[in-house]
Amino acid sequence: MSKCEICGGRAFRNEEVEDVFHLGGRYVLVEHIPATVCVQCGEKTFEAATAEGIRRMLHEGRHAARKVDMEVFAY
């Protein structure tokens, strides 16, 4: 990756991140996702294989590692 698609930044770091996905009327949190993160704006980018792994994990009925209570705000 040479340039951030959001801010145009050119500095990145590899990190494990978490992200929330909307799936069939519910929200799920996925933790420990390997990502490239823009140092300037924080935009997270996943490799294609990582995105496919997340998709399979969420759609193939794997059991969640744990459950968390989440607050929801409307803007």
pLDDT tens per residue, range 20-35? 999 888 899 999 999 9
2 — phi, psi (to 5°)? -105, -25
The reply to whether 1 falls in a domain is no
* Cα distance between residue 47 and residue 67, in whole Å: 26
2 occurs within a structural domain: no
Which CATH number covers residue 18? 3.10.20.860
DSSP 63: P
Distance of CA 73 to the CA centre of its chain: 20
Whole-model pTM: value is 0.82
Number of structural domains found in the chain: 1
Examine residue 74 and state whether it is found in any structural domain, yes or no: no
pLDDT tens sequence across 45-57: 999 999 999 999 9
3-state secondary structure of 56: helix
Residue 29 in domain = yes
- The pair of structure tokens assigned to 71 is 């607050």
